[in-house]
Amino acid sequence: MNNLLKIGDINITGLSDGPNVIDPTILFPETPLEAWEPYYDIFPEFFHGKHFKVNLGTFVISNNDASIVVDTGLGPHGDMFGTSVPGQLIQDFKNNNISFESIDKVFLTHLHGDHYGWNYREDLDDRPPTFPNAKYMVNRLDWDHWLSEKMLSDDPNDSLRRSVLPLLDDGLLDLMEGDTNLTKGVQAIHTPGHTPGHMSLLISSGNERAMLLGDVVGSPMQITESNYPYMPDSDPELGRKTRHELINKVHDEKLIAIGSHLSYPGWGTIITWKGKKFFKGL
């Protein structure tokens, strides 16, 4: 499968920390399991039996001026609703011949544990920063929320203290204040609801455009069933509003949709079929 997407002069490489099998009723506790049955044949790659097989995606965005990593997976010490993943992201970088030293920026869409697990080299005893020449970019709203004393004390496996808080002392943190230009053709935009400071990326080059949604959409089915209450959203109503706005924008403006948890490698288009919007992988 081709994991390289070109948006004009911008290259986007889809990587993965591995698939994670999750009971849909954990993510959508108000939605009966049988509600997902119509999607078994539409998105077979996203199901393991009746459970979701969720891709934990990372993306490398590069042009002539910069190389940007978007999110760093769950990592080998992460816990995602009582489950873990193979933690294959480091090897995936090596398999794709992308050097850690070549990365200028690490853009964290938000501070849920499946997006920062490889900020540091958990496979090495001394745990250096995975991307030693990069600044790690986080929206200040997410930093202030997740790094509060309450959230740190409630962190079940201390992942924030292990993988996020050290960025400050190590001089690697770059806090964003709202919408931010990362490099030519790559703009970070505030898309709150999933978390207070959740960020997405609008990517433009030539006549081509893409929207990297982050976790605004957590599965391909959620593009169709966008009203289902989604447990991971910090603010469900705002999350639903943001989700509708971005789905409509991607559909109406014919953008490429890129998502952290869409089927690997993580991109496609949004089409209308039988009066409903659907994700269609490229």
Q: Which residues contact 182 (CB under 8 A, 6 or more apart)?
A: 66, 68, 105, 107, 137, 188, 201
Counting the structural domains of the chain, the total is 1
User: Residue 153's pLDDT is what?
Assistant: 86
Q: What share of the chain is helix, strand, coil (3-state, %, to 5)?
A: 25, 30, 45
Model pTM? 0.95
Of 41-55, 83-97, 123-137, 160-174, the range with the lowest mean pLDDT is 83-97
The CATH number of the domain where 51 resides is what?
3.60.15.10
User: Residue 155's pLDDT is what?
Assistant: 83
Is 203 a residue whose pLDDT tops 90?
Answer: yes
The whole domain housing 56 covers 4-281
User: Residue 154's pLDDT is what?
Assistant: 85
DSSP state of 204: E
- What's phi and psi for 113, nearest 5 deg? -60, -20
